Amino acid sequence: MVPLLQVDGLHAAADGTDILKGVDLALGPGEVHALMGPNGAGKSTLASVLMGHPAYRVTKGRILLDGEDITGWPTDVRAKAGLFLAFQHPEAIDGVSVTQFLRQAMAARRGLDELSVLEVRVALHEWMERLGMDPSFAERHLNQGFSGGERKRNEILQLAMLEPRVAILDETDTGLDIDALRVVGRGIHTVRAARPDLGVLVVTHYQRILRDLVPDRVHLMIDGRIVESGGPDLARRIETGGYEEWR
């Protein structure tokens, strides 16, 4: 079976400094993989490189989506092809409502000039109901005045509406208390139930989000390389003993 997302020997640098030093990863349809590691290991850099962030330069290796080499593709083309990144710190956009943003993003994802407001509102209402969100949320300006939990739930709403092939969740658990974390975990479960082929890569420091979102594979990144992969027990080992075993 061809992986949804495949990373082969990926090296990347920023400002002349090597950060990724040979990353290999294969994410299959419907799988959840967790990427763990200490600060500065390169986890968020990998998420950014997968999305084609211009601050990073791939110096070796390749990225494949559904078997197609996308290493040289710009960010917007990757997004239209089905890659989705949930940010660690989502940006606020004053003057643009959640509905307006999603209408434009959904049209771009489908390769259309625009979508009808009615179509977007119907889909949005349905998903907000599934995710247990207040309908008034749709008219608020994007992330403006949102709490940390609201920003992350908005990312899950975007994930549901845009129907990507692969979702990269970059430290979605950052700044969330245990109740907000459970809400986000349930939201991801709800989206996966509706789209069972969705591949998910969760970038995290902690095991706590993995208690709700049980991964098929856990990867440990140290100094720009994945040094060990395993099942959920690897996350528990890291939580208990830290990273000294692999340094």
| CATH number of 96's domain | 3.40.50.300
pTM: 0.92
Both tokens assigned to 165: 């092939």
Q: Which of 43-52, 74-83, 85-94 has the lowest mean pLDDT?
A: 85-94
**What total number of domains does the chain contain?**
1
Is residue 83 classed as helix, strand or coil in its secondary structure? strand
Q: Which residues pair with 36 in a beta bridge?
A: 220
How far is Cα 207 from Cα 213, in angstroms, rounded to an integer? Answer: 10
Helix (H, G, I), strand (E, B) or coil at 163: coil
- The strand pairing partners of 20, in sequence order, are 12
Report which of 50, 85, 59 is spatially closest to residue 172, judged by C-alpha positions.
85
Give the highest mean pLDDT range of 62-71, 138-147, 201-210: 62-71
CA angle 168, 52, 102 (to 5 degrees): 60
What gap in Å lies between CA 40 and CA 222, rounded to an integer? 8
Using 50, 70 and 90 to split pLDDT, how confident is the model at 58? Answer: very high
Residue 103's domain comprises 5-246
pLDDT > 90 in the chain, percent: 62
